[in-house]
Amino acid sequence: MKAVHVTVAGRVQGVGYRAWCRDEAARRGLSGWVRNRASGEVEAVIAGEPAIVDDMLAALWTGPSSASVSAVDVAESDAAPEGEFAVRATA
């Protein structure tokens, strides 16, 4: 199991990025959560099999068609959420 904490920057709010992230994570069988940050970034914790997490991290650079990602910062996380991938309220 691999868990990562991710911050995504660019034009990622108001473009459906959180819903896209939730759908992509669910399609891959990953657990975790995603939320907007007051700073304009999107934050997520993603957990699952290492190769599948890595695949999701690569997909975060693309996002939905109206997004424009400028950075994806990744750090390992001790938190390994289980269950369905969720969209959380803005922090």
Task: Name the active-site residue from 11, 28, 35, 36.
Answer: 36
CA distances, 50 to each of 56, 67, 72, 81, 91 (Å): 10, 25, 17, 14, 27
Task: Name the active-site residue from 18, 22, 28, 88.
Answer: 18
Note if 11 is an active site residue.
no
Rounded Cα–Cα distance for residues 91 and 89 (Å): 6
Q: Which residue do the tokens 């994570």 mark?
A: 25
Rounded Cα–Cα distance for residues 39 and 55 (Å): 26
Note if 27 is an active site residue.
no
- Catalytic residue positions? 18, 36
